[in-house]
Every structure is written in structure tokens, then in C-alpha cells.
Amino acid sequence: MTTAPVPAPGGDARGTVEDPVTVEGRWDFGYTYYAGAAASRFFNELRLNRRIMGTHCPQCDRVLVPARGFCDACFVEIDEWREVGTEGTLETFTILTSSFPGLPEPPLVVGYVTLDGASSAVLNAVCGVDLTDIDAAGLSLLSQPRVRVKFRDVREGRISDFAFELVGK
């Protein structure tokens, strides 16, 4: 053992590292998220009744979709349920190219749609768009076209129980 300084193998301790050490890390915990009463009813209505439900805030007179238990703008509880239409306007959209395990393969068109009778927009996939030419597909959707809700045959009480498709297709 020596108390004299020991030089770094590559000379400078910073600046170069001959053998950089790294370790792999992963966060892969399982969580069970509670949707709560309002969102549970919203998802159950999709699954059991093929209905899109919102909750009406008496204070700001908005019908909020997906349904929720309080209006954050007015900060009041809301429990007046309204069924909204199954057609609406594609307010905006994007074409995603990220791939995530267990999710639909890209390219994926997702858009915010204000359904008839709703005051807020809900996000979902827009299916049936020809994506052979992504630029052309995007440009064709810029005019905020009408879309309708298409429920899946097998529903699980998830947002993916429905998607949107262009009206007239």
C-alpha cells in the first residue's frame, strides 16, 4: 500500500477512459391503475352498450368526454351523464411512427374528435386511411373531415374498444 497518488491507466482520469464501465438497467414493474367510478362507467358503457358517454358540468355547461367525476375548470363534482353522438369532427390528428410492444403497429393515424353533443375532444385511432403515401394521406385529412365511431366486435372496456373511420368511406 502506498499513500502516493496513483496515476490513471490512460493518463488523465477525465478526458479519456480506456475501459468505460456501464451497467444495464430496466424498470419493469407491474402497476394496477384504478380508473375510478366515472371512468369505469365510461369504459363499461363502451363495452356493454356501445355508447360514448360524457358528463355535463352545470356550471360551465360543457359535456366532457371521456366522462369524468369533476370539472377541473369549475372545480365542482359532476354526475349528470349524457350520451354523445357517434359522429363528429376530426379536430386534429397526427401520424405516429413509434412502435411500442402490444400496441398497434405504425404508421398509425390518431386524432382528436369532438363528437356531436360533446364539448371536448377524445383521442382515438382513425382507421381506413390509405397510408401508401403518408404526405398525401395527411394532406387529405387537413380539412377537418367528419368521422364516425366504429366499435370493435370484441370489447374489453378499453379506449381501444372503438376507433374512428371517415364518414363516406
Partner 1 sequence: MRPVYVHGVSVSPSWADPTCSLQDLIFVGVRDALRSAGMSATELDAVVLAAHDLVDGRSLTSMVTAPAAAAYLKDETRVGDDGATAFALADARVRSGSVETCLVAAWGRLSEGPVDAISHALFDPFTTRPLAMTEIGVSGLRATRALAEHPGYAAHREAAAARRDQRAGDPGRTPAPAWPLRPAELPVWSDVVAAVVIGSAPTAVEVLGVGMGTEPFELGDRDLLGLPALSAASGQALDEAQRGIAEVDVLELDGMTLFDEALAMEAVGAAARGGGMAALATDHRVDPVGAAARGYAAPAMGLAHIARAGERLADGEGRTALATGSSVVAAQSQAAVVLGTA
**Pick from Zn ion, partner 1, none: which does 64 bind, CB < 5 to 8 A by kind?**
partner 1
75 binds partner 1 (CB under 8 A): no
Q: Which is nearer to partner 1, 122 or 149 (CB)?
A: 122
3 binds partner 1 (CB under 8 A): no
Interface stretch with partner 1, choices 45-53, 74-82, 110-118, 146-154 (CB under 8 A): 110-118
Of 30, 135, 153, 168, which lies in the binding site for partner 1, with binding defined by CB under 8 A?
Answer: 135
Distance CA 120, CA 71 (A): 12
- Strand bridging mode 122-127 / 108-115: antiparallel
76 binds partner 1 (CB under 8 A): no
Q: Which is nearer to Zn ion, 89 or 120 (CB)?
A: 120
Q: Which is nearer to partner 1, 3 or 11 (CB)?
A: 11
Of 64, 67, 78, 147, which lies in the binding site for partner 1, with binding defined by CB under 8 A?
Answer: 64
Question: In the bound complex, what is the minimum distance in angstroms from residue 139's beta carbon to partner 1?
Answer: 8
64 binds Zn ion (CB under 5 A): no
Amino acid, res. 21: V
Question: In the bound complex, what is the minimum distance in angstroms from residue 1's beta carbon to partner 1?
Answer: 27
The 3-state secondary structure of 144-163, one letter per residue = CCEEEEEECCCCCCCHHHEE
169 binds partner 1 (CB under 8 A): no
